[in-house]
Amino acid sequence: MTDTPSDKSIGRRDLLKTWGPAALAGAAITALGAGLSGRPGRHQRGSGEVAPTPPDWRIDPGTAGKVAIAGGAGPSANLGRALQVFGGIDAFINEGDRVAIKPNCAWDRTAAQAANTDPELIGELVRLSLAAGASSVVVLDNTCHDPARAFARSGIAEAARTAGGTVAHQNSTGTVNLDLGGAVLGEWEVLQPIAEADRLINVPVVKHHSLGRGTLGMKNWFGAIVGRRPSLHQRLDQVCADLGAAFRPTLTVIDATRVLTGGGPTGGSLDLVRKDDLLAVATDPLAADAWGATLLDFGPAELPYLAIAERLGIGTTDWRSVATTV
């Protein structure tokens, strides 16, 4: 008697062999469908996820800020004298702090051309921060010209490294998506070392600017964010105020060692540079900008973003009421 397949009853093992693979495939396909059906795509944000807001880098957010103005002794000595008003750098930097310093280092220009922050001032800030116990100090900017050239020609890279700090820019470091929470500025990519810093020091240079009339501390935060920055100029005043509200630095140091009085923010010709040998150290960034505006020969009222920033509670435009000259 031959054993034809049709005669044979199907055993449990045979059943598994015949249908098992198909069942497994079916289960895998079902799992795939059940797992992914209707989910947001890889490039979409899920409904629960929100970008974090920037940290607050201030030492004492509750109290009103101050401004200390010093001049006539060169950047390093001016800085030391102005800091004494607050009790020295130790009042701001603790043992082990990661410090980020944001100069204006946007342009492939020399220090003498005054388009960037004075390198000696940056070097001194790095040195003081490390002496106060900072675990690391990074000097960084999102530059407008080629970053390698801007950092080299400005002298800022060399000054920062000589003093023991490191340098970072948009091509050398990553970004973090933060919700800046402004009227114009929503979620933006922010240079990672800034987002991760314990202490943040803003060191703008006082310059003429054809749209904002002047560029000072709040405009300097343009170099902290990465993205389609040129479109922000359509509402520059609101954007500057938004930036001032989003980035609350430990310290603002307004550099008026040299003031670029025209052709800004790039400058070029040395005829445009005025040597003031002044600086202001401030815990009120708004008062600091209001003081800086006076160096460009116009009052705070002529910089509309200052009024917006005051409404946002960033500080006071009446810089004289909080200023000490040393």
Partner 1 sequence: MTLRPRARHYRILVQTLFLLSFMVLFFGLAVDRVPGWVASILLSLDPLTALGTALADWTIPAWTWIGLIILAATAVLGRFFCGWICPLGTLQQLMSWIAGPERRKRNKINRYRTWFSLKYVILTVILVWAALGADHAGWLDPIPLLHRAVAGGLRPLWFGGMTPGGWVAFGMLAAILLLSTWMPRFYCRAVCPLGALLGVTARVAPLRIRRTSDSACSGCTLCLMACQGADEPLENHRVSECHVCLNCLPSCAEDTLKFGLPVVQHSPEMPPLDVGRRRFLLTAVTTAAVAPVLRATGGGEARAADAIRPPGALDEEAFLARCITCGACSASCPTNVIVSDVGKTGIEGIFTPILNMRRGWCEPSCTRCGEVCPTEALAIVTSEAKQAVDGPAEVTIGTAFLDRGRCLPWAMATPCIVCEEMCPTSPKAIWLEPAELRARDGRTVMVQQPFVDPELCTGCGLCENRCPVGEQAAIRVSSVGETRDPRNRMLTGRRSG
**Residue placing its CB nearer to partner 1 in the complex, 91 or 144:** 144
Cα(156)–Cα(161) distance, rounded to whole angstroms?
8
Question: Which of 166, 266, 294, 324: binder of partner 1 (CB under 8 A)?
Answer: 266
Question: Which of 57, 86, 107, 305: binder of partner 1 (CB under 8 A)?
Answer: 107
Q: Does 318 bind partner 1 (CB under 8 A)?
A: no
Q: Which among 1-9, 97-105, 266-274, 309-317 is the span making contact with partner 1, rule CB under 8 A?
A: 266-274
Helix segments in the chain, DSSP class H: 12-36, 75-84, 119-131, 147-153, 156-162, 192-196, 236-246, 285-295, 304-311
Query: Is the Cβ–Cβ distance between 179 and 50 less than 8 Å?
Result: yes
Question: Which of 217, 244, 249, 267: binder of partner 1 (CB under 8 A)?
Answer: 267
Q: Does 112 bind partner 1 (CB under 8 A)?
A: no
Query: Is the Cβ–Cβ distance between 139 and 258 less than 8 Å?
Result: no
Q: Does 308 bind partner 1 (CB under 8 A)?
A: no
**Residue placing its CB nearer to partner 1 in the complex, 131 or 152:** 152
Question: Which of 71, 155, 265, 285: binder of partner 1 (CB under 8 A)?
Answer: 265
CB atoms within 10 A of CB 198: 17
Q: Does 43 bind partner 1 (CB under 8 A)?
A: no
Q: Does 263 bind partner 1 (CB under 8 A)?
A: yes
Q: Does 307 bind partner 1 (CB under 8 A)?
A: no
Query: Is the Cβ–Cβ distance between 266 and 150 less than 8 Å?
Result: no
Q: Does 135 bind partner 1 (CB under 8 A)?
A: no
Q: Does 302 bind partner 1 (CB under 8 A)?
A: no
Site for partner 1 in 211-240 (CB under 8 A): 211, 228, 230-231, 233-236
CB atoms within 10 A of CB 113: 21
Q: Which among 10-18, 147-155, 275-283, 301-309 is the span making contact with partner 1, rule CB under 8 A?
A: 147-155
179 by Cβ neighbours in 10 Å (0-12 / 13-18 / 19+) ranks as middle
The sheet carrying 225-226 orders its strands as 175-179, 187-191, 225-226
Cα(315)–Cα(36) distance, rounded to whole angstroms?
49
Bridge-partner residues for 200, per DSSP? 100
Q: Does 272 bind partner 1 (CB under 8 A)?
A: yes
Residues that bind partner 1 (CB under 8 A): 107-108, 144-146, 148-149, 153, 209-211, 228, 230-231, 233-236, 263, 265-269, 271-272
